[in-house]
Structure 1
């Protein structure tokens, strides 16, 4: 079995243009193949505002699949720590043996999540974008901006977060990376009303975006609602949208923004909902006019994890002198 550390993984895989088609294909596989993807298993640690999720998916024809353990502890910013953590294990689909342990500390999750946001924008946002808005100031907000630049040109970024200090840090960090003007907005409404694309990246449990703020041509990608109690959009936002897409209907109806819209009666439980893989595969349309209001609800899927883990493993094992290989049937002795 191979073992790779976060620093080794970061050496070999970055958020760049090779990532987008890999994750895009994963969504397509979910739509066109009999992918085996069980529901997320989650453990809540409420006293520390934390959660630990287990995700997995087997894509027919692949020789391995990923089993991922990921955590989000949202008080970690008080400790100067990132909120996300985790690891992935690759398991043989031939023998069931563990083949690799990717000790990425959540890095692969960050980039596959950002890639999903970029894919949503690629298919659902206007071609000509002037302003991108991001709500949230953590690591995923940064990754989302980097990923969006891979699929759309834009001139300005509006940022809003609960902490002005964190918003200013994001502004300073991203000004060194993006060749665009980055401004801090005083509230979420300013972001939504003045942006062509809005990405939400928070663990909010109260809606941040109101339906009244939506305007023709707007695209929203909601990333944060991946548990029943989380909600970033008012429930009637989905009803007001001309086109609504989610990563998987079953999961979003249980955990995502769709869950709240169904619960509050704005969308029926048996409504036909487009999945992102249907769009990437060409079976369904993404945006069809410049004036449409579009929304994409992303809760994160195991098929993304298997796709990014397989790519990472390929790149890592092609490089000599990186990682370690152990016989997991024998004793390990470290000095």
Structure 2
């Protein structure tokens, strides 16, 4: 069995190939049971263990173990850690133990970019990133792989981390096209009003984005709230948008933004337009028109992990 490091994952998962592989896997389908979600009560706060299995009918088998410790941020440590085990579907023998952090943050951003490929306006060129955690930088790169992003705005609670991330991407070029501007913003409302894509990746339990801030044609990408008690948007965002999800099962079980909008009487699960499987199969056309506000809510899917692991393994 091979051990594949974070650096090898980073080098092996190019955005175009990864997004295409995840798109193909959503279109074709695999076996992906609901993930196991376990709360761990610790003296310094609650943590979460996620177990995410998936397999192809005639191919690979995989499972991810992911630990989420929000309290790590106070110690300067990563909040998310884990590993992925990829096995041979013919024999069940393990093939690779893959760094779960890097795999997760890249497949998460790739799924958001895949949604943006179907939902964001073709000419969307201004991206607002909300959050400065592990996934946030990947969202910049992934969205730039599917839309002609020229301007990047970054908002975060930690000024030092926000400045560092902005500095890193002032010199980043997606292919041969560097960004025209990468700026730190402190006024989130104003930044939202000028953004074509707003992408949030936080562990917030209170709304950060208000529906009244979103301009017509905006695409809102919500990545962070993976439990019903978490949210990044208010009910106005959800009620005023065409809502899409990564998977119906994940949305019904864990999409905090949607559950809390439901609790406030502003949304129903039946209002979901489509999931990524329906979008990639052409069963839903995506955004209604250029003026519609679209919202993509992801909670993560084991399908994405397996697709990423296979792409990495076969491309090594």
| Normalised TM-score (structure 1) | 0.86
Q: For residues 116-146 of structure 1, what are the alpha-carbon distances to aligned partners after superposition, in whole Å with 9 as ceiling and x for unaligned?
A: 1111111111111231111001221100001
**Unmatched 5+ residue regions in structure 1?**
317-335
CA deviation vs aligned residue, 1:80-130 (integer Å, no higher than 9, x gap):
32222211111333333333222x141011111111111111111111123
Correspondence for 2:106: 111
The residue number in structure 1 matching 2:208 is 208
Aligned residue among 158, 162, 170 for 2:153: 158
Please state whether the residue corresponding to 2:145 is helix, strand or coil: coil
1:293 lines up with 2:293 in the alignment: yes
Q: Which residue of 2 aligns with 1:129?
A: 124
Alpha-carbon spacing, 1:200–1:10, altered in 2? closer, same or farther (3 Å): closer
Greater shift in the superposed pair: 90-99 or 136-145:
90-99
**2:266: which partner in 1?**
266
Please give the secondary structure, in 2, of the residue aligned with 1:250. helix
Aligned partner of 2:56 in structure 1 is: 59
Change (3 A) 1:188 1:45: farther
| TM alignment of 1:22-171, pairs within 5 A | 22-30=21-29, 35-46=30-41, 47-48=44-45, 50-61=47-58, 63-102=59-98, 104-171=99-166
Pick closer, same or farther for the CA change 1:77–1:268 going to 2, 3 Å. Answer: closer
| 3-state SS in 2 of match to 1:158 | strand
Root-mean-square deviation (CA, aligned residues, Å) is 1.8
**Partners of 2:194 and 2:215 within 8 A in 1:** no
TM-score (norm 2): 0.91
Contact 1:249–1:273 (CA under 8 A) maintained in structure 2: no
Aligned twin of 1:330? none
2:243 matched to 1:247? no
Supply the distance in 1 between the matched residues of 2:160 and 2:272 (Cα, whole angstroms). Answer: 42
Greater shift, 226-235 or 259-268, is seen at: 259-268
Counterpart secondary structure, 2:146? coil
* Separation (CA, whole Å) in 1 of partners of 2:82 and 2:89: 22
Question: Number of residue pairs matched?
Answer: 308
Partner SS, residue 16 of structure 2: coil
Contact 1:253 1:262 in 2 (8 A): no
Structure 2's unaligned 5+ residue stretches are none
Shift of 1:77: 3.2
Q: Give the conservation status (yes or no) of the 8 Å contact 2:212–2:236.
A: no
**1:157-194 alpha-carbon deviations (Å, 9 max, x no partner):** 11111111111111111112142211111132122111
